[in-house]
Amino acid sequence: MSRANLLPLQQRAELFSHLGAMEQAGVPVSQALSSLSLGPAWQTAIARLQREVAAGRSLAVAGRVSGLLSPLEVNLLQAAEHAGSPERLYQRLASQYAEQARQRQAMQARLYLPGATLLLALLIQPLPALVGGSLSVAGYLWSVLQPLLCLALALWGWAQLRRQGEQGLLATNRGLATIGLRLPMVGVSLLRRAVRDYFTSLGLLLEAGVALFEAMPLAVASLGNAALREDFLAMQARVVAGQPLAQALQNMDFPGQPQLRALVASGEASGTLPAVLLAFAQRQGQQQASFEEQLATWLPRLAYLLVALWMAHGLITGGGIGPSVPPDLR
């Protein structure tokens, strides 16, 4: 599946919100897609999705063939379709993606001020040397463009890693995945998100009537981290060997694991395991959303502080705040 076709967060939110509203109104999926508009850039992919559904494929299969849905979304939709109406899943995904899009837009908006401050500092710092004749026009442009090019390259690299999604480097390289889990703050975020995805998928599959042995491999497929996938496969092997799920969770290490074990033991005894897993996944999602909200608040402030300190250091030391200029450009 081409990762380039995956919808951005805002468009994903609009897609599932539209499907949820149409499902609630009793409108068939094929007819609901005909009234869907996500912008010209996605019209071709949406048209292919419509054709696949019109040919008799389920929305999950059509989404996988068209490349518009991620592997996790495909698994969740298949589970919801087995359970009957996917309306609840549509609403959950729409709310989740809308919140993620809002947080990302808020973070980008808050980064405008430190970004503008950095650009202004780069433009102003070499001006005295340019006016005094000790710096050529080419040297001035180099002193401004060099750090901007480095920053643009770093942002591009970060965007490429994010674009990899569930099938990216973290999903295929165990060493890199392990390093990611050990990073301060980022590791906990990656772990909590993976746990949320796994138990959401597992809970929905069980709720749909899929047997635990069949549901666990599908839930593992939702994990976008190679190291975690091996851990959950080991847990799956313990369940296949005859251990109750609560006991198989004992050797796992993730946020909320002790509480989940107790809840799973109760859920297995009472027959409410799907509800227990979905409730736990929802709490993990809420904690992840809270973390991302705090990150959106404090990261721009930290960026602004670093830019201000960098500018102050350059002015105090008298060495300037720009990069060094090659002698032939002076």
Looking at residue 247, its pLDDT comes to 92
Looking at residue 324, its pLDDT comes to 52
The answer to whether residue 2 scores a pLDDT higher than 50 is no
The answer to whether residue 136 scores a pLDDT higher than 70 is yes
Region 109-113: what's the mean pLDDT? Answer: 76
How many Å apart are CA 188 and CA 290, to the nearest integer? 13
Which range in 66-70, 190-194, 257-261, 314-318 is most confidently predicted, on average pLDDT?
A: 257-261
Tokens coding 162: 């994010």
The average confidence (pLDDT) of the chain is: 79
CA-based nearest residue to 215, from 79, 109, 21: 79
Region 305-320: what's the mean pLDDT? Answer: 66
- Are 178 and 257 in contact, with CB atoms under 8 Å apart? no
Amino acid sitting at position 137? V
- Are 204 and 210 in contact, with CB atoms under 8 Å apart? no
Looking at residue 7, its pLDDT comes to 80
How many Å apart are CA 208 and CA 78, to the nearest integer? 9
Region 286-300: what's the mean pLDDT? Answer: 75
The answer to whether residue 323 scores a pLDDT higher than 80 is no
The answer to whether residue 97 scores a pLDDT higher than 90 is no
Q: Where are the beta strands (DSSP E) in the chain?
A: none
How many Å apart are CA 158 and CA 161, to the nearest integer? 5
Number of other residues whose CB lies within 10 A of the CB of residue 115:
16
The answer to whether residue 84 scores a pLDDT higher than 60 is yes
How many Å apart are CA 321 and CA 301, to the nearest integer? 20
Looking at residue 235, its pLDDT comes to 92
Number of other residues whose CB lies within 10 A of the CB of residue 175:
10
Looking at residue 165, its pLDDT comes to 46
How many Å apart are CA 191 and CA 208, to the nearest integer? 26
Q: 20 CB contacts (<8 Å, ≥6 apart)?
A: 87, 90, 91, 94
Looking at residue 112, its pLDDT comes to 77
CA-based nearest residue to 30, from 10, 64, 66, 58: 58
Tokens coding 326: 């090659």
Q: Summarize pLDDT for 138-155 with one digit per residue, the tens.
A: 888 888 888 888 878 877
CA-based nearest residue to 204, from 87, 293, 58: 87
How many Å apart are CA 282 and CA 116, to the nearest integer? 38
